[in-house]
Structure 1
Amino acid sequence: MIRSVLWVAFLFFATASSAFTNDSDPEFNAIFKEMQIELKKINAYYAPKIREKELRIQDISAKIYDATETASKVDFLIQKDLLKEEILFLKKEEMQDLSKIRYLKGLQIIRLLYEKVLSLDHHFASVRTFSEINKLSNPNQYPEYEKLKEIVKHRKDKKAGFDLTSILGTNTIVSIVQTFSNLMVSSLSKDEKDKEIANIECILDFTLRMQNELNTIYFETAFLQKSNDKIRTDIETLFKEYTKPIGYANTLESCRTSDDWESVKLKTNDYLANLKTQQGPQLYSSQVNIIFPIDRLLQFITQYNSFIDQGGKFYEKFKIILNSYENEKQCETKLPLEYKKLKDDIDVAINKFNIAYRPVEVNGSKMKEILYGINEFE
């Protein structure tokens, strides 16, 4: 059982070495290329030794068939059993060496993924806040509109005009209705009214058309930020579970901050060296403890990739939303600089989600092939 599980682990890395090297992060490519080289070295070391003993078993089997004396047959059978035990021992040694590579490379993957998660933290920390986006969608934040309000305030008809309470005054729609109502009954001439309206028409058109869209961008970005917080918590939990068998107690954040990766490697080496002294159920349990963390790592990679895909799609949606303002050309000189900056930020974010934050792709049939050594098309 344990050998079959170890073989699946070997298949994961043998397949992953080629599966992850297309259009993925160079650092991840380097890990998998190194892994491929190391796996080949192990195979090159053990394969001829195992093959030599298998050939000897075949030769002994032929001798058993030809032997006529019982004593000779018994002697050959003993030799054959000893060779089988030696083969099992070599395979055990080989799988332990494979486990060491797999485990250490898994740690390297966690390390790189954590850096990407921290980059995402930085990305979301720099995303515009609600108040900044609210300024874009609220005409009360524009000097031209505030100027009109002041003019209307001093030139309004005190009998026909009206004032707003402090609460209603912050409501965009109500504020605009009040301003225009007072403007219509103010002492301004028609030409003056037309001039003032012309000064703010683009601002009002932009804010009224885009208010809901800009709020959508903010709230959906806030949702992505919450999702990223969970991703960070999950990778820190993954590291804790991954290093628990080897007795490493520091958190992922602490390990990164103190650059304590060498200690993790040393504890891994000690743990694997101790396997050579174990037997029976204890050995089985110890082997399983370092075999199955890779499954949790794969699950996290799938979760992470799903989040990156989702984030990329959200930002593509944001780009469509911002480009949907139909009077952009007519109002180009009147639109706030923050609007263009927001569009540029979203273009940068799309690029990051498609390239910088995306380490590897493991999906569908490829995932089955990596996890279980199954090729659906065979």
Structure 2
Amino acid sequence: MKLIIYITIILSLCGIHISHAINDAGNINEISIEAHIEQLYIELENTKAQYQEKYTLISVALSEATQGIKESITTDQKLYWLLEKDQLKEERERLELSELSDLSKIRYIKGLQIIKILYEKTLALDHHFASVSTFREINKIANPNNYPEFKNIKETIGVKADKKKGFNLTNILGNNIYASVAHSFISLFNNEATSRTQKEESLKDVECILDFTLRMHNDLNTIYFETVFLQKSNENIMGELQQLFIDFTKPIKYRISLKECRNSDDWDNVRDHLDTYLEALNTALADDSKRYKAHKMQINLEFPIDRLLQFITQYNAFIDQGAKFYEKFGIMLNSYENETQCASQIPVEYKKLKESIAVAIEKFNTAYKPVEINGSKMKEVLYGLNEYD
């Protein structure tokens, strides 16, 4: 039964399901993470139950041996029961080591699976941040100098400007949103060659553009810079995750990085290294003279799990932070009060940005947030902790 459990979990690590549920295209249907963890939880509980049955049998036998010692009449009888009791205690100790080993193996393999899943999430986040934090697009919709209508007015004003009274801005100030708008207003109002009607028409052509960019300029820049900050934080998370993978696979002597493993789909090789390690552990467990070696090998499987739990806390904190940032972005983008009135002149990029932020908020609360690795059940799955014990 234990062999079946090991094979089942190891195959799940590489995305191969025992049911071989293959669709018409030949791809394996993936179960949800929640279902995967629930199945693993059941496997752990079944393993514990199987060992509990063996503990019960040993406990009954120990009680019989104790009673036999008390009721022994001859020395030979007492010696028999004493030896029987010692053997049962040694058997119980071996059983405890075997149970810890089996549970550690299952948790270790699940830890690898979680690392794999979290890496995919951080890659998706990195792609998202890169798409949102494109400065060229943000700058395009935040600066009126990038709108053809405003450029036309500036050119018209320049042609009709009084050469004696007028002046031109430097390149630096000419690209500054506030200096450029102020200069254009001053030049337009002081231009005697343009009638009042023409001035009002010119303003009407760009009123929505100026209103939008002047109101939203700071908010759009805030979204850009804070998204860059989140992207850098996500890069740090990815670095931590890659280091965690190195620490995690060090005991089984797998030396390839997480990035390379993922890109080359090398999970079968990870499985092979793990199989080799488990064979050595089983050999050590069966030999009383190698009891210390087996204990050390088991600790080497347990220790990376502790690191994984620490990383999960760090990852969740980052996702919570990102969700709050994006909720703020959503409020900023929805704060433009003249959106309906100026709908025809608001750039398409602004609407796309709003849609992207709305989708991101939803993903931060679902796809990116690893809900399945929170709570007491996940702690028990990974670390054997049960708050009700």
Q: Percent identity?
A: 52
Task: Select the residue among 144, 147, 151 that pairs with 1:146.
Answer: 151
| 1:373 alignment counterpart | 385
Q: Does 1:77 align with 2:82?
A: yes
| 2:37 alignment counterpart | 32
Distance 1:237 1:102 in 2: 19
Task: Select the residue among 316, 320, 327 that pairs with 1:316.
Answer: 327
Call closer, same or farther: CA 1:92–1:367 in 2, change over 3 Å: closer
Distance 2:312 2:120 in 1: 14
Q: Does 1:356 align with 2:361?
A: no
Q: Are the equivalent residues in 2 in contact too, given 1:305–1:361 (CA < 8 A)? A: no
| 2:102 alignment counterpart | 97
| 1:338 alignment counterpart | 349
Q: How does 1:240-255 map to 2 (within 5 A)?
A: 240-255=246-261
Q: Which has the higher contact order (CA 8 A, sep 6+)?
A: 1
Give the C-alpha shift of residue 291 in structure 1.
0.6
| 1:266 alignment counterpart | 272
Q: Does 1:213 align with 2:219?
A: yes
Q: Are the equivalent residues in 2 in contact too, given 1:31–1:108 (CA < 8 A)? A: no
Question: Any stretches of 5+ residues in structure 1 without a counterpart?
Answer: 1-24
Q: Are the equivalent residues in 1 in contact too, given 2:372–2:378 (CA < 8 A)? A: no
Task: Select the residue among 50, 57, 63 that pairs with 2:55.
Answer: 50
Q: Does 1:199 align with 2:226?
A: no
Give the C-alpha shift of residue 340 in structure 1.
1.0
Give the counterpart letter for 2:182 in structure 1: V
Task: Select the residue among 149, 166, 173 that pairs with 1:168.
Answer: 173
Q: Are the equivalent residues in 2 in contact too, given 1:235–1:300 (CA < 8 A)? A: yes
Give the C-alpha shift of residue 44 in structure 1.
3.9
Q: Are the equivalent residues in 1 in contact too, given 2:133–2:228 (CA < 8 A)? A: no
Distance 2:129 2:177 in 1: 28
For residues 79-132 of structure 1, give each alpha carbon's deviation from its aligned partner in whole angstroms, at most 9, with x where no partner exists: 101011011112212221111111111111111111111111221222241121
For residues 131-176 of structure 1, give each alpha carbon's deviation from its aligned partner in whole angstroms, at most 9, with x where no partner exists: 2111111110111111111111111122221111122211111111
> Helix, strand or coil for the counterpart of 1:232?
helix
For residues 43-95 of structure 1, give each alpha carbon's deviation from its aligned partner in whole angstroms, at most 9, with x where no partner exists: 34322222112101101111212223333222211110101101111221222
Give the counterpart letter for 1:271 in structure 2: Y
Task: Select the residue among 180, 186, 191 that pairs with 2:185.
Answer: 180
Q: Are the equivalent residues in 1 in contact too, given 2:107–2:383 (CA < 8 A)? A: no
More divergent stretch after superposition (263-272 vs 146-155): 263-272
Call closer, same or farther: CA 1:50–1:366 in 2, change over 3 Å: closer
Call closer, same or farther: CA 1:265–1:348 in 2, change over 3 Å: same
| 2:309 alignment counterpart | 298
Distance 1:366 1:203 in 2: 54
Q: Are the equivalent residues in 2 in contact too, given 1:31–1:105 (CA < 8 A)? A: no
TM-score by length of 1: 0.87
More divergent stretch after superposition (154-163 vs 366-375): 366-375
| 1:20 alignment counterpart | none
Distance 1:275 1:340 in 2: 59
> Helix, strand or coil for the counterpart of 1:316?
helix
Give the C-alpha shift of residue 250 in structure 1.
0.8
Question: Any stretches of 5+ residues in structure 2 without a counterpart?
Answer: 1-29, 285-289
Alignment coverage as a number of residue pairs: 353
Q: Are the equivalent residues in 1 in contact too, given 2:144–2:177 (CA < 8 A)? A: yes
> Helix, strand or coil for the counterpart of 1:356?
coil
More divergent stretch after superposition (271-280 vs 247-256): 271-280
| 1:109 alignment counterpart | 114
| 2:27 alignment counterpart | none
Give the counterpart letter for 2:366 in structure 1: I
Q: Are the equivalent residues in 2 in contact too, given 1:96–1:272 (CA < 8 A)? A: no
Distance 1:355 1:80 in 2: 55
Q: Are the equivalent residues in 2 in contact too, given 1:312–1:353 (CA < 8 A)? A: yes
Give the counterpart letter for 2:315 in structure 1: Y
Q: Are the equivalent residues in 1 in contact too, given 2:125–2:368 (CA < 8 A)? A: yes
Give the C-alpha shift of residue 362 in structure 1.
5.4
Distance 1:166 1:220 in 2: 28
Distance 1:83 1:284 in 2: 20
Q: Are the equivalent residues in 2 in contact too, given 1:238–1:297 (CA < 8 A)? A: yes
TM-score by length of 2: 0.85
Q: Are the equivalent residues in 1 in contact too, given 2:34–2:372 (CA < 8 A)? A: no
Q: Does 1:287 align with 2:298?
A: yes
Q: Are the equivalent residues in 2 in contact too, given 1:138–1:211 (CA < 8 A)? A: yes
